[in-house]
Amino acid sequence: MDVKQALLGAGVLGAGALFLVGGLQLSAEAGYAGVGPNFLPLLVGAMLALCGGWLVWEAATGGFRNMEEASGAARGDWVGFAWVSAGILANAALITTIGFILSCTLCFVLAARGFKWAQGARGVGLQAIAVDALIGVAISAPVFWMFTQLLAIGLPGLTSTGWI
């Protein structure tokens, strides 16, 4: 039995157990969709427990089979990590100031820069940054509109119109 693989499975199993315990502490009263607030945590907990049990069984019966050699560098890229972290922190710090769409776009641009850096693309020009910004807007704007206009969930916007 591979101990590391068994510990991974036990960790997933433990996370599933925590979700199940948390879900059982929530109200089971059905809402407008016919399910209560405990439905999703119980579903996630059950799936995690199932996957964790399966991983432990795999580790006990010969380990994870047919695994390919891990790709990527032997060690993490700290500069790339810093770019991605800066994107996440900037999003959290600026979302109420510049709105959801712009803060998520900035997060995407900085995270893309970090991933490109980690892949060896050290010199990223303005054209690549502009393309990343357009992709960020193309992802974040529909998400913003879906949440604010279709689901009526308030997200911070740049203007009071609810469209930006």
pLDDT at 14: 97
Q: With a cut of 70, which residues of the chain have pLDDT below it?
A: 31-34, 72, 158-164
DSSP 8-state symbol, 68: P
Domain ranges of the chain: 3-60, 78-150
Q: Which two tokens stand for residue 138?
A: 């193309």
pLDDT at 75: 78
Q: Does this model's pTM top 0.75?
A: no
pLDDT at 31: 67
pLDDT at 79: 92
Phi, psi of 139 (to 5 degrees): -90, -50
pLDDT at 156: 77
Q: Which residues contact 153 (CB under 8 A, 6 or more apart)?
A: 147
